[in-house]
Structure 1
Amino acid sequence: MSLAGSRPRQACPTRGRPRSEAVERAIVEGVMKLLEDGVPLAELSIERVARTAGVGKATIYRRWSGKEELFVDVMRAAEPPDPELPGTSMRDDLVVLLETMRRRGLLNRSSMMLHNVYAQMKSSPKLWAAYEATVIAPRREAVHEVLRRGQRNGELCADADIELVNDIVVGPMVVRAFMRPEAELPEGLAERIVDTVLVGLRPVSSTAP
C-alpha cells in the first residue's frame, strides 16, 4: 500500500477526526522517530509503532497488512521520490534515472539512520524481498521501458539484450553509490556514465558506401 498522498482525498472529513493523510503521516513519522532513536527494525512491533504514533493497532492494520509493508512505505518516504522522465530521448531519460540514484547514494551516506536501516533490511530476507518487489523491481522496469522505447525509436540496437544493457548502464552508479562508500559521486556523473555506455550501443548505419 502506498502512502496517503496517492489516494483520493476526502472532501469532507468527519468533524473531530484527523484526515486519513494525517493519520498515515503520523504513523510513518512515528516509525522514523523510532529508527532515528536507534531502535532496531527487529524490535519495531506494530504495538510500539502505534503507541509512538498515538493511534490504535487496528488503525495501522487497516492501512498496512504488516510490518514489512509499513517499513517499505517508510523507506520510500525517506528517499528522494522517483523522477518524472522528460521523454525527450532515451539518453535524457537514462540520465534522469541515474541522477536520482546518485542522489539516493549521497543521502544514504549522509544519513546514518538510512545507512543502518538498509543494512538491517538486507539481513531480513522477508523485509528485503518486500522492498525488492515493491521498490527495486518497479525502478528496474522503468529503465527497461526507457531502453525498449529507445529500440523502437532507433536510439538503441534493435537486437540489444535489454536485461544486459540495464546492468551495463545502471551498474556503475550502483557500485559507486552503494557499494563503494569512498567513491566520489560528483555532479555530472550520470551524464558521463550514460554517454560512455551509449557510444557502443548506438545502431550502426547500414548505408552502403
Structure 2
Amino acid sequence: MSLADSRPRPVGPARGRPRSEAVERAILEGVMKLLEEGVPLAELSIERIARTAGVGKATIYRRWSGKEELFVDVMRAAEPPDPVLPGISMRGDLVALLETLRQRGLASRSSVILHNVYAQMKSSPKIWAAYHASVITPRRVLAMEVLRRGQRSGELRPDIDPELANDLFIGPMLVRTVMRPDADLPEGLAEEIVDTVLAGLRPVSSTAS
C-alpha cells in the first residue's frame, strides 16, 4: 500500500529540525513495508524501522516521541482523510462524517494489513490509547459540535442529549463496519442512516395533528 499521497497530521508539537515531507513519507512507507511483510507491531523497533526507511534513528525521534506516535500517524495516513464538512446544514455535515466511516470500513475490508493492524493496536493499550486520543476523540468532538449547532439552528430537538444523538447516528455505521464485517456498505448508506435517525429527532411542528 502506498502512502506517497497521504500526509498525516502531527500528533504533537513539532520537534527539532524543520519537517521534510520526503523523509516522513519514507519512514511511513518503511513501517507499512514491514507490516506487509508480516512483522507484528510488537516486534517493530525504531532501529528496524530506521534501517528499512534508510534513515537514522535520530531522524525518527525528531519527528515522533516513540513507536506509539509513529504508528498512529501510519494509520492516519492509510485511512481516508477527515472530511471537509459542508457547514450548510446539520444533516449535510452528519452525512459527510458517516461517509468517512463507511470509506474507512471499505478500506479495512480491502486491506488485510489494515485489518490486522487495527486488531494489534487494540491489544496494545499504549498504542490504542494514543490512537483513540488523537484520532477517535477529535472526530467525536467534531460530531458533537455539529449536533449542538443543529440544536441551535432548530434542526434537532433541544431536549435531545447530544451524546445520545451522536451514538444513534454513528452506532449503525460502526456496527456494519466493525461488528458485522460481512454487512453491505453500499453508496447512500450514510444518507439512509442520517435520514432514518433524524425522522425521530427533528422538532415536531406545533401545527402537526
Cα displacement (A) at 1:205: 2.4
Rounded Cα–Cα distance in structure 2 between residues aligned with 1:143 and 1:183: 24
Any idea what the Cα deviations from partners look like across 1:104-155, whole Å, max 9, x if unmatched?
A: 0011001000000000001111110000000000011111011011011010
Alpha-carbon offset, residue 88 of structure 1: 1.2
Residue 208 of structure 1: how far off its partner (Å): 9.1
Query: What is the deviation of 1:80?
Result: 0.3
Task: State the percentage of identical aligned residues.
Answer: 78
2:108 counterpart SS class: helix
Instruction: Tell me which stretches of 4 or more aligned residues in structure 1 moved more than 2 Å.
Output: 205-209
1:68 counterpart letter in structure 2:
E
Tell me whether 1:53 sits opposite 2:60 in the alignment. no
Instruction: For residue 108 of structure 1, give the secondary structure of its aligned residue in structure 2.
Output: helix
- 1:81 is aligned to 81
Matches within 5 A, 1:173-188: 173-188=173-188
User: Which residue of 2, 13, 27 maps to 2:9?
Assistant: 2
For 2:33 and 2:169, locate their aligned partners in 1 and report how far apart those are by CA, in whole Å.
Answer: 36
1:16 aligned residue: none
Instruction: For residue 207 of structure 1, report the CA deviation from its aligned partner.
Output: 5.1
Sort the Cα spacing of 1:69 and 1:100 in 2 relative to 1 into closer, same or farther, 3 A. same
Aligned residues, how many? 199
Q: Residue 119 of structure 2 corresponds to which residue in structure 1?
A: 119
Cα distance between partner residues in 2 of 1:104 and 1:69: 20
Tell me the TM-score normalised to structure 1 length. 0.90
Aligned counterparts of 2:26 and 2:103: Cα–Cα separation in 1: 26
What residue identity is the alignment partner of 1:77?
A: A
Residue 178 of structure 1, CA deviation = 1.3
Q: Tell me the amino acid that sits aligned with residue 165 of structure 1.
A: A
Q: Which has the larger radius of gyration?
A: 1
> In the aligned structure 1, how far is the partner of 2:131 from the partner of 2:73?
9
| Alpha-carbon distance between aligned partners in 2 of 1:102 and 1:93, rounded to the nearest angstrom | 14
Stretches of structure 1 that go unaligned for 5 or more consecutive residues are 14-18
Q: Encode CA deviations 1:24-66: one digit per residue, 9 max, x unaligned.
A: 1111111011111111000000000000011111110010000
TM-score, normalised on structure 2? Answer: 0.90
Q: CA deviation at 1:2?
A: 3.0
Aligned to 2:3: none
